[in-house]
Amino acid sequence: MSLRISIYFAALLTFLITACSTEHSKIVIAEYDDVKIRMDEFENAYTKNVGSLAVAIKDSFENYKNFAELYTNFRMKLDDAKLRGYQNDSELNDELQNYKKQVGSSYILEKYLVEPNIKDLYEKRKTEIRASHIMIRPDSTGELAARNKTQAILDSIKAGQSFESMVQKHTQDNFSKPKDGDIFYFTAGQLPYEFEDAAYHTPKDSIYPQVVQTRFGFHIIKVTDVKQRIPKIRVSHILISYSKPDGTVDTAATYATMDSVLAELKAGKDFGEVAKRFSDDTGTKDKGGDLGFFERRMMVPEFDEAAFKLDVGQVSDVVKTSFGLHVIKLTEKQSYPTFEEDKENLKNLLKRSRYNDLYTELVENYKKEFNYKLNEDTFHQMLDQNDSTLIGGELRGGEVLGNKTLYSFTNDVVTVNDFYSKLKSDTEFTGKKFNNDFISRAIKKYSDQQVLEEKANTLDKTDSEFAELMKDYQNGIFIFKLQEDEVWNKVKIDSVKLFDFYQKNMEKYKWDNRVAFTEIFARRDSVIRHYYDLLKSGENFDSLASKTERPNMKEKHGKYELQIISSDLSKIADGLSKIGDYSEPIPNQGGFSIIRLDERDPARLKTFEEAKAEVSGAFQEFESRRLENEYIDSLKKRYSPVINYDQLRKAFTQYTK
């Protein structure tokens, strides 16, 4: 055979083998009856069981094997549940429906509100922006007049007027006015969302083309810088204060001292040592000037700007602030966190900034989808007839109004009676006056929740992840019901069976060495010494023990029943020679103790009565295992399962190639 033919034949053979090999996900790892469990199903289930793909990949074949057997049993049980008609059981379906409503509402808010918005926050927070603004407040002129005024200023700027001159003429933000409207650097999650969103959509050295409204008023925004954000930095500083210890201000002395500091640093002296000698910041000088980590806007702007410009190890020029003169050394920069590392922080930022607005927007969209309608006539009739009465009492006009529709959805109608039955038991509203504000808030609260539940009802048809969650829960309900029918309800306990079980297993039920003792306890050394002297003089031990100062032992007069020798007190008692002996005063738990040995019980087997509770628990566990095994055996006889262990060895191998 020529070399060319050999190469061709080898290539053809390789092609045929590759073409005929089963795609990894479709490898059958187990089968029974006409059911095949494929690799993708097994790997998904295994990953879910161990918590992550990373763990699953590294696991052993023995663990895969054990899980494959358990999973096959699980699948056979589910098929048995279907044969029994569990899917048509109204009680089980009601339980699933209730779970869908409860979990669905939270799922919707997490997936469709929180997740996308914290991801947006995370991406935006990689960048920081410096902006200036002109702000006009509504005040007494009203919103329309304020908006029109702000628009006129923006139009003037677009026509050629200087932004900075318009700041000086018009802005009502007196804090930023002296700085031509500059509000310094910020990142997403620090300022009102409307302001931030506009700034993030504006290029550097540009003005946002529209008027922006926030809770503070109307704004014209100019972006002056855009840069990659450094989340946190750590610096040390040396502060030379303008103020002297006697309260006087001596600027010349401040500059002279700073010259000495600079001379020391230029001579190569350690920054921390110089800070300890010279710095007037009493909170940091003993730590070599270390301020720890901080974010943008946590320091005064002059300090902040100088510090964030430094490289690690670099020392700044002299920085002037209202506190005095500083030199700053950057010691660490924090890298940008991963999304998972920052997730909880992002959620908190979202909650504080715009969660409520996003929630309202989401719910309002769902209300439109489900044709939500408030019956205004019924609403006002209910208010008029119950004006100023307290929520929680009898509803006035209920005989006439009770069955009228207050609000409705596509698939749901809420009557006045339905609404008021919730309202009068809601602690947020009970005892409050029946007025427009409280009733409107209550209607919003209940209708919002109901519309989320309405959305959850159909979510499994459009969201595969939620559908899988519901399927898992349904499977869980079915398995629980099977365990109830086949195992737990069949466990029968009677005294004869328990005693027989005890006799076969009595070696498992043992007492270790135990002691019973009595304690005299006093908080003061002088008191316990006095009691000890009385005992030596013949005073009755029990009469003194009844005076114990240990609060939880007063009713028991200091007596401790038989117990295993593990506590400090029991060890002291065990160290005494014979019954009736007592110890010298011993320091113990905030006071002093004298211990008397009352009884010894050497290690022995427990009697049936003593072990009965343990025996009962062990017997139930034994019977449950036996019945479970019997049930699994019956399924195996019916379905004849086969696990393909050779194929199972290929589990997760596609991730390790």
Does domain 127-228 sit in CATH 3.10.50.40?
yes
User: CA–CA separation, 329 vs 323, rounded Å?
Assistant: 17
User: CA–CA separation, 322 vs 147, rounded Å?
Assistant: 36
pLDDT for 248 equals 82
Radius of gyration in angstroms for the set of CA atoms belonging to the chain, rounded to a whole number: 39
- Is 31 within 8 Å of 646 (Cβ atoms)? no
Evaluate whether 232-335 and 510-605 have a shared fold. yes
28-85, pLDDT tens digit by residue?
999 999 999 999 999 999 999 999 999 999 999 999 999 999 999 999 999 999 999 9
Burial of 310 (0-12, 13-18, 19+ CB in 10 A): middle
User: CA–CA separation, 423 vs 418, rounded Å?
Assistant: 9
Per-residue pLDDT for 87 more than 80? Answer: yes
Helix (H, G, I), strand (E, B) or coil at 343: helix
User: CA–CA separation, 340 vs 529, rounded Å?
Assistant: 62
Q: In the 8-state DSSP scheme, what is residue 394?
A: P
Residue predicted with more confidence, 656 or 516: 516
How many residues appear in the chain?
657
pLDDT for 44 equals 94
- The arrangement of secondary structure in 232-335, i.e. its CATH architecture, is Roll (3.10)
Per-residue pLDDT for 420 more than 50? Answer: yes
Give the E-state strand segments of 109-258 in sequence order: 127-136, 182-186, 206-207, 212-214, 217-228, 232-241
540-555, pLDDT tens digit by residue?
999 999 999 998 899 9
What is the pLDDT of the chain when averaged over all its residues? 93
Q: Where are the domains of the chain?
A: 127-228, 232-335, 354-459, 510-605
Q: Please list the alpha-helical segments (H only) found in 171-215.
A: 193-200
Per-residue pLDDT for 355 more than 70? Answer: yes
pLDDT for 380 equals 95
Tokens of 146: 């304020």
Domain 510-605, CATH? 3.10.50.40
What mean pLDDT do residues 587-593 have? Answer: 91
State the pTM of this model.
0.74
Q: What percent of the chain has pLDDT over 90?
A: 90
What mean pLDDT do residues 204-218 have? Answer: 96
User: CA–CA separation, 536 vs 582, rounded Å?
Assistant: 11
What mean pLDDT do residues 454-482 have? Answer: 95
The residue type at 620: Q
The residue type at 525: D
Helix (H, G, I), strand (E, B) or coil at 60: coil
Q: In the 8-state DSSP scheme, what is residue 523?
A: S
110-153, pLDDT tens digit by residue?
999 999 999 999 999 999 999 999 999 998 788 999 999 999 99
What mean pLDDT do residues 367-374 have? Answer: 96
Burial of 18 (0-12, 13-18, 19+ CB in 10 A): exposed
What mean pLDDT do residues 446-451 have? Answer: 96
What mean pLDDT do residues 150-166 have? Answer: 97
Pairing type for strands 514-522 and 35-38 reads: unpaired
Q: Dmax over Cα atoms in the chain, in whole Å?
A: 117
Per-residue pLDDT for 411 more than 90? Answer: no
What mean pLDDT do residues 274-292 have? Answer: 96
Per-residue pLDDT for 415 more than 60? Answer: yes
7-36, pLDDT tens digit by residue?
344 443 343 334 334 589 999 999 999 999
Per-residue pLDDT for 5 more than 90? Answer: no
What mean pLDDT do residues 430-438 have? Answer: 92
Helix (H, G, I), strand (E, B) or coil at 545: helix
491-505, pLDDT tens digit by residue?
988 899 999 999 999
Helix (H, G, I), strand (E, B) or coil at 657: coil
What mean pLDDT do residues 602-613 have? Answer: 95
Per residue, what are the HEC states of 303-332? HHHHHHCCCCCCECCCEEECCEEEEEEEEE
Q: How would residue 259 be classed by pLDDT, with cut points 50, 70 and 90?
A: very high
pLDDT for 22 equals 58
User: CA–CA separation, 540 vs 520, rounded Å?
Assistant: 11
User: CA–CA separation, 111 vs 544, rounded Å?
Assistant: 67
User: CA–CA separation, 5 vs 61, rounded Å?
Assistant: 42
Q: How would residue 244 be classed by pLDDT, with cut points 50, 70 and 90?
A: confident
Direct distance between the N- and C-terminal alpha carbons of the chain, in angstroms, rounded to an integer: 34
Beta strands across the sheet bearing 412-415? 373-374, 405-409, 412-415
pLDDT for 15 equals 39
pLDDT for 141 equals 80
